[in-house]
A and B are shown apart, each in its own frame.
Chain A
Amino acid sequence: MAAVDHLIPVSARGLVKRYGEILAVDAVDLNVEPGDIYGFLGPNGAGKTTAMRMLLGLLRPDRGEVRLFGRDPQHELPEALDGVAGFVETPRFYGYLTGRKNLELFAAFDGGDAAERIDDVLDVVGLQHRSGDKVGGYSQGMKQRLGLAVSLLRNPRLLILDEPTNGLDPGGIRDMRALLKELAGRGMTIFLSSHLLAEVEELCTRVSVIRAGAIVYEGSLAQLHASASPRYRLRTSDQDTTEAILVGDSRVREPTREGDELVFDADEATVLELSRALAAAGIGIAALVPETATLERLFFELTEGDPHPHRLEAVA
């Protein structure tokens, strides 16, 4: 890695991790800027958690490098995790200890003034009233909130969270999202994996999409939307002839019939020409509606179908 920037929360270059014949992570680059709420998207088994484990120094990459605020978690632990907190997969605790005792343990393992923050973080995640109960009796959602509390003990500048709303009820999900927004508002950088696209759309400023171990998109959500082919819905007085015209035009992509509408991808100039051609053919246009690409559609475009698609490059 040529230049080391101590302000960049996460910088990963060419991360590779192999388990025997399985290539779990394939040349992954990640760039998380200060203040980002960075969404890490991908289907199950795409390599999200493996990559996140490498960020936290739990796994050694076969190739590639990670820097957290300029420090290498493979060779500079625990110092490389100063100012960094989080968890991968479900946060786990000592079930035979109370929530507060668990926090005391983690605070002791953090050193410094972490222990002084225990009551504050319990208040923040709403677990103060259950802090005296053994964690073995906590629900999944409570453990998730305790996981966030344990992370906040470190007063991090970078928070790395794996599916943070997993196991939470709708109210808990709403509260967690509000909390993450608030933390980001205070200047904390948040790196979160999620399979909830609505969550990513609501929270994240930048995203990367991983598929079969490789990053297929990294950039802002706005750029991702802009990179998508525009899609149109068309209803005319003669759908059969219209469909034949669409199929015969090589500039029109994926024309399909959905109910009484024709749906197709094309650029704006082609659509203008098509509308003229339909009018010239005596076909009336009842509706020609451009459709904004949803994140869900973009996600499926990036993660399904041809296993080796061209990579969408965000504009720098």
Chain B
Amino acid sequence: MRPTTFTAYRWEVRKLLSQKRTYIGVGAAALLPVVFVSVMALQTGGPYDAPLGHNLRHTGIALALVVLTFASRFGAQLATALVAGDIVANEDAGGTLKMILTRSLRRGQILGGKILASFTYVVALLAALLATGLVGGTIAWGFNPVIDLSGHRVSALHALGLSFAALAVFSVPLLSIASFGIFLSAVTRSSAAAIVGTLVYELVQEAVVGLVHWQPLHHYMLSAQFDAWHGVFQTPVFWPPVVRALWVSALFAAVPLALAFLVFSRRDVAGD
């Protein structure tokens, strides 16, 4: 029986699990809420004006999402770029690409496995942040109801469910960033170029939002989609930004991924 994309995916995940830098990224994501809550314990102030920030010190459920608000400006993209930008280029530079391309998998299947593994890593990053945020926040401030962004009181259990949904919405534009990183990784064959290029890509999006004063454009930039999860924490749920985040992010992912497949399936694999 011939191997499948799932075979490639399974081994890509195993490779990630065998590398220290994977744990450094996930560990850093897990540590953020712990550091955040520790710093807050040492002072009276806090980022109360951040989305859901007014819940801090009243309930632990909001902690992860407040941390995510700060991480969404750069940290999450950095961690994503480090893995996505490296996942093809590293094998190219290390010479292992020429080895796996002479086996029984199609090039598209190998790239598919790498894309899925990168996406899994992004989800793991966010899951780690949410998990320690919930545990750390609950230990510090309890498992209490949340006042949502439209001022309604939401039960703790319902808020927990909303946190998962908010994180899922947040992950979508992050997966688009990962897609761009994978594209650069496949095209440039250089981990450094792909990682830096991915971060520059994100910064350019932020710069466009800051410099171009045409509001409709802002809604359709990838960077704006990182705030779409706010819609989940409104009563009733405010769907337009969530739906927009889904299709805008899908578009921002589809183009680089299609180009990555096109380039990767045809390009020469030259010297080590």
Contacts and interface: CB of A to CB of B under 8 A. Distances in A.
B54 interface: no
B268 A90 contact: no
A93 interface: yes
A81 B102 contact: yes
B103 A78 contact: yes
Contacts of A82: 104
Interface in B215-253: none
Contacts of A110: 3, 103-104
Which of A78, A96, A106, A154 has the most chain B CB atoms inside 10 A of its CB? Answer: A78
Interface string A78-105: 1001101111111111101100010001
Interface residues of A, number: 34
Contact of A92 (B10, B99, B107): B99
A153 to B, nearest CB: 9
B75 interface: no
A94 B94 CA distance: 8
B1 A58 contact: no
B270 A59 contact: yes
A87 B102 CA distance: 8
A58 B102 CA distance: 8
Interface stretch (B11-19, B26-34, B152-160, B181-189): B11-19
B200 to A, nearest CB: 29
A91 B272 CA distance: 10
B95 A58 contact: no
Contact of A89 (B11, B104, B266, B272): B272
A82 B103 CA distance: 9
B11 A109 contact: yes
A97 B272 contact: no
Contact of B272 (A60, A81, A90): A90
B7 A108 contact: yes
Contacts of A81: 102-104
A93 B103 contact: no
A108 B11 contact: yes
Candidate in A85, A97, A111, A112 with the most chain B CB atoms within 10 angstroms: A111
B268 A150 contact: no
B15 A77 contact: no
A111 to B, nearest CB: 4
Contacts of B146: none
A258 B57 CA distance: 97
A60 B18 CA distance: 33
Contacts of A60: 266, 268
16 contacts: A53-B269, A59-B270, A78-B106, A85-B102, A86-B102, A88-B98, A92-B98, A92-B272, A93-B99, A94-B96, A96-B19, A101-B14, A109-B103, A109-B105, A111-B7, A111-B104
Interface of B: 1-3, 7-8, 10-11, 14-15, 18-19, 94-96, 98-107, 266, 268-272
Q: When A and B form their complex, which 9 residue pairs have the shortest distance between CB atoms, in order from nearest? A: A92-B95, A109-B103, A111-B3, A58-B269, A59-B268, A78-B104, A111-B2, A92-B96, A110-B104
